[in-house]
Structure 1
Amino acid sequence: MSQSRKIRLGAVLGGAGGPGEHGAWKEQEIPGNASINIEYYLRQAQLAERGKFDHLFVVDSLYITPDSPPHYLNRLEPFTLLGALAVQTRNIGLVATISTSYEEPFHVARRLASIDLISGGRAGWNVVATGDGGTAKLFGRGQHLEYEDRYGRALEHVQLVQKLWDSYEDEAFPRDVETGTFVDVEKLHPVEHRGKYFTVEGPLNISRSPQGQPVIFQAGDSEYGRNLAGAIAEGVFTHQPTIEAGIAFSRDIKARAEKAGRNPDHVLITPGIKVIVGDSDEHAREIEQYFQDQDADFTRAVKLFGRPFGWHDFNQYDLDAPFPDLGDLGDRDWKTRADQIKTTAREGGLTLRETVERFTAPQPSPFVGSAETVASTLQEWFEAGAVDGYNIHIRTLSQFARFTEEVVPLLQERGLFRAEYEGSTLREHLGLPFIANRHLQREAVPTGT
């Protein structure tokens, strides 16, 4: 392991409880309106920044049903939330989840560039190709694009946004009062894009930031998702259950990046994990069990089980009959997850009840224990090459405080994590290079090459 290699840490901002956390909103220390409470988000951000975290991470989706997780039912829009946090923090990165399926490239480019400028170069974009069934109808469409088109649109979307971010060169605004020159028009480059999914003409009306361009994260584990990660991702948000699975995933993504002509060292694998710190390993497992007991709700689990299948209603079936034949249901939604469920149920001869339990039952997290145990486990996964860092899910402020105050110092003592911020931009935090303007790069290429 390189001595300069450091663990990257993101904080996944928590609210009233996401998938599987049916009882989190009942916790005394979590405000009932946590998901729309800016003061609660700010407290999380301040803890993370005090712990020298690389970035804050906002997960998001658009479509809801009455059975959606509490946090999903009533939460702040990511751009607005990050705008508020940008002026209340000084160092920590700000990453928002934004759909390429239902957002236009110009809007995404402009809003993210604005956050990047407001924050002094701390913005990032978690790219998702929306899988939630029902979302299409929110935008006047009958259904999602076909799976292949969804990811084809995602790739073109990101590449177009990156073109728009390069509309102005870095020194395009001399603002020279003596000569009366506000903008150097030679350094303004209109975009003329005609692709399969988008046609855009004209430049973006905002300048670049101190980091050049926001950092691109990506979430998605299908074959298409992995190809997209290899093509555009600088950080990959994933979930891997074991070190071995993490090593395989990391090698696969980095190999795809290298095949795409990119530097694999500039692709960071940062899974989302749940951490619990206790006075001892046994105490931490007791806390974990308490949370699981609070969340136990099989009736709600059955309702949420339909999400990968476009919120299909599984209550219409006999729970103790064989898992139903669903045909191609889920192919336009969360296809990878839907296919995994159908295959597991079919090959295992499972009933619907057994399948729901198999896929919704809480699993012990490897990152639970005393501060020493948690730090050592984080170190083990990192040094094995399974991860480049972690996105720590925040359930309660008290638990997150224990992580920042007890685990982070141990990582610092071992030389695995920074003691102080060494730069001001998200790219500097993550050890990623500044993105030079493509028009300058072209000018640097000798004629005839």
Structure 2
Amino acid sequence: MTTPRRQIKLGAFLMATGHHVASWRHPDAQADGGINVAHYRKVVETAEKAKFDLVFVADSPAGWPRAKDREAQQRSSQGAHFEPLTLWSALSQVTSHIGFVATASTTYEDPYLLARRFASLDHLSGGRAAWNVVTTGADVSHNFQIAGHPAHADRYARAEEFVDLVLDLWDSHEDGAFPRDKDSGIYVDLDRVHQLNHKGTHFSVRGPLNVPRPVQGHPVVVQAGASEPGRRLAARTAEMIFTANQTLEDAQAFYADVKRRLPAYGRSPDQLLIVPGIFPVLGGTEAEAQRNHEEIQNLIHPAIAWEILTRHYQGRDLSGYSLDDRAPPLPESTELNKSRLTLVSDLVSRGNLTLRQLYLAVAGARGHREVVGTPEQIADAMQQWFENGAADAFNIMPPVLPRGLDDFVAEVVPILRRRGLFREEYEGPTLRENLGLQRPENRFAARRGISAAE
């Protein structure tokens, strides 16, 4: 019996109008995309028709951090978009196979309410929900009843307890806990319902959850932190990890490091998928692709350019510099998104960039890999990383929506299929089935020695 060929998994990482910071100004962009459900429906249906595994939206509990400069504030498109679980609940009703990944914070959310919402989405979608676990680097404590923004180590300590608690809540009803037997009059089997009685450092939760066990057992758990605490959390709890890498060597090192951690937690390498982002700029020729890239780069307003630089230099006064001066070294990473600042710092030192080159380098993909070229070159780049220990899947980051996704689906996906690297049809109706991930055993049932099938 032959072993099926390993194939790429694909996610569509959707920013409202596209990933480029100036995408909303592009002639092909849906400028009001962030609050236009018809727009999101179109791009999600495009991704499902192409047999993508999932769609993903990033999110912050208080919106995206605002620029301090008023002119930059009024030119930014990042302040108006749907709350992701609400959006995905609506779009789950007009799709049948594609998975929905929503971001939710362990720093500013409540475990019980989060577990309830994601369990509900999993039932609404027939088993297609996923939670992107974030600890929230930006200080948004001013909008919450919290005594200041926790330090990096404290956020991850809270996240460790938070994730375990959510997993327990999803398991607080075993499979078959609701027989709803009209003849006997038994609606719920109390032997299969469990209180947690959790009393930890950060949370005290009795349980059980008031939503039955999710269709997938647990919604797929995704994580995006690349710091040391983030890697530990991902190796212990995550099933996908979104990452940003610029070079094959860096991607291979990250892939190997995270995979080697799994046995310590009783896990195998195939239980965690490594998913780098890729920002593809397409053209019929290399020259056309470069022109397309330059077209959108030229839409960046100077106020936005300086805001990008100020953010990466963590508020440092850059008034003595011109955009054509060499970029000074970035300051040591503070509490704000350590892993991403490290990545950009490496980009500066490796490329010996000017300030102009720096903001242009991060204006589109924010540190993720940019590939500008023909459809064949985009496919080549993906194949190289996939076949050389750098990726199990890719998050496609269209520069402009909807065109960027339309072009990728029409021009790159057929090449991947011809090479046998991407599916023709879905493997099943749930996200876990399509990703090749096992449905988790209910931990309470396991303690009682009862299989999920009983």
TM-score greater than 0.5 by the shorter chain: yes
Q: 1-side partners of 2:147 and 2:358: how far apart?
A: 29
The equivalent residue for 1:388 is: 392
AA in 2 matched with 1:334: N
3-state DSSP class of the match of 1:107? helix
* Uncovered stretches (5+) of structure 2, i.e. residues with no partner: none
1:332 alignment partner, one of 332, 335, 342:
335
What is the deviation of 1:444? 2.4
Q: What is the SS of the residue equivalent to 1:410?
A: helix
Which residue among 76, 98, 112 is the counterpart of 1:70?
Answer: 76
2:320 alignment partner, one of 306, 318, 321 = 318
Partner residue in 1 for 2:89 = 83
Which residue is 1:232 aligned to? 237
Match of residue 28 from structure 1: 27
Provide the rounded CA distance (Å) in 1 between the counterparts of 2:14 and 2:344.
Answer: 28
For 2:406, which of 401, 404, 426 is the aligned residue? 401
Judge conservation of contact 1:165–1:208 (CA < 8 Å) in 2: yes
Q: CA RMSD in A?
A: 2.8
Quote the offset at 1:16 in angstroms. Answer: 3.3
Report the secondary structure of 2:95's partner residue: coil
Residue 97 (structure 1) aligns with: 103
Residues 172-191 of structure 1 mapped to structure 2, 5 A cutoff: 172-191=177-196
- How far, CA to CA, are the matches of 2:330 and 2:312 in structure 1? 12
Cα distance change, pair 369–332 in 1 and its aligned pair in 2 (3 A): closer
Whether the 8 Å contact between 1:8 and 1:54 is mirrored in structure 2 is yes
Contact 2:174 2:193 in 1 (8 A): yes
Q: Deviations over 1:172-201 (max 9, x none)?
A: 111110000111111101111111111111
> What's 2:166 paired with?
161
Q: Compared with structure 1, are the counterparts of its residues 307 and 156 closer, same or farther at alpha carbon in structure 2 (3 Å cutoff)?
A: farther
The residue identity in structure 2 corresponding to 1:8 is K
Residue 248 of structure 2, aligned match among 240, 243, 246: 243
Structure 2 match to 1:115: 121
Tell me: CA distance 1:120–1:129, structure 2 relative to 1, closer, same or farther (3 Å): same
Deviation at 1:291? 1.9
Query: In the TM superposition, what are the counterparts of 1:391-430 in structure 2 within 5 Å?
Result: 391-394=395-398, 395-430=400-435
Q: Secondary structure at the match of 1:272?
A: strand
Q: TM-score normalised to the size of structure 1?
A: 0.89
Residue identity opposite 2:24 in structure 1: W
Whether the 8 Å CA contact 2:241–2:274 is kept in 1: the answer is yes
1:192 to 2:194 alignment: no
Distance in 2 (CA, whole Å) between partners of 1:357 and 1:174 is 64
User: How much has 1:245 moved relative to structure 2?
Assistant: 1.1
Change (3 A) 1:41 1:259: same
Matched, 1:379 2:383: yes
Are the equivalent residues in 1 in contact too, given 2:18–2:401 (CA < 8 A)?
A: no
What letter is aligned with 1:318? G
Cα contact 2:55–2:100 (8 A) shared by 1: yes
How far, CA to CA, are the matches of 1:124 and 1:393 in structure 2?
Answer: 18
TM-score (normalised: structure 2): 0.88
Shift in CA distance, 327/31, structure 1 to aligned 2, threshold 3 Å: closer
**Which of 369, 387, 392 is equivalent to 2:373?**
369
Equivalent residue for 2:303, pick from 290, 293, 299: 299
**Are residues 138 and 355 of structure 1, via their aligned partners in 2, closer, same or farther at CA, if it must alter by over 3 Å?**
farther
Task: Report if aligned partners of 1:276, 1:288 keep a CA contact under 8 Å in 2.
Answer: yes
Which stretch of structure 1 is more off in the superposition, 99-108 or 396-405?
396-405
What letter corresponds to residue 12 of structure 2 in structure 1?
A: A
Q: Which runs of 5+ in 1 are unaligned?
A: none
* C-alpha separation in 1, matches of 2:13 and 2:343: 26
Task: Find the residue that maps to 1:60 and give its secondary structure.
Answer: coil
Q: Secondary structure at the match of 1:72?
A: coil
Cα distance, 1:273 vs structure 2 = 1.1
* Per-residue CA distance 1:245-281 (angstroms, 9 max, x = gap): 1111100111122222222211101111111222123
CA offsets 1:181-230 (integer angstroms, 9 cap, x no match)? 11111110111111111111120001123311100110111111111111
CA positional deviation for 1:367:
3.1
Structure 1 residue corresponding to 2:446, chosen from 423, 428, 441: 441
Alpha carbons 1:302, 1:314 under 8 Å: kept: no
Distance between the aligned counterparts of 2:219 and 2:109, measured in 1?
17
**For each residue in 1:232-253, what CA deviation from the matched residue of structure 2 results, as whole angstroms up to 9, or x when unmatched?**
1111111111111111110011
Conserved? CA contact 2:326–2:355, under 8 Å: no
In 1, are the aligned partners of 2:310 and 2:316 still within 8 Å (CA)? yes
Within 2, Cα distance between the matches of 1:200 and 1:70? Answer: 40
The answer to whether the Cα contact below 8 Å between 1:96 and 1:126 also exists between their aligned partners in 2 is yes
Equivalents in 1 of 2:394, 2:345: separation in Å?
30
Displacement of 1:131: 0.5
Cα distance change, pair 342–369 in 1 and its aligned pair in 2 (3 A): closer
CA drift at 1:118: 0.1
Contact 2:137 2:337 in 1 (8 A): yes
1:264 aligns to 2:286 (yes or no): no
**For the residues of structure 1 that align with 2:330 and 2:243, how far apart are their CA atoms?**
27
* CA distance 1:145–1:54, shift in 2 (3 Å): same
Shift, 1:313, TM fit: 3.8
**Per-residue deviation, 1:338:** 4.5
Quote the residue 1:13 is aligned against. 14
CA distance in 2, matches of 1:80, 1:356: 39
CA distance in 1, matches of 2:230, 2:280: 26
Residue 344 to residue 5, structure 1, CA distance change in 2 (3 Å) = closer
More moved, 123-132 vs 405-414 = 405-414
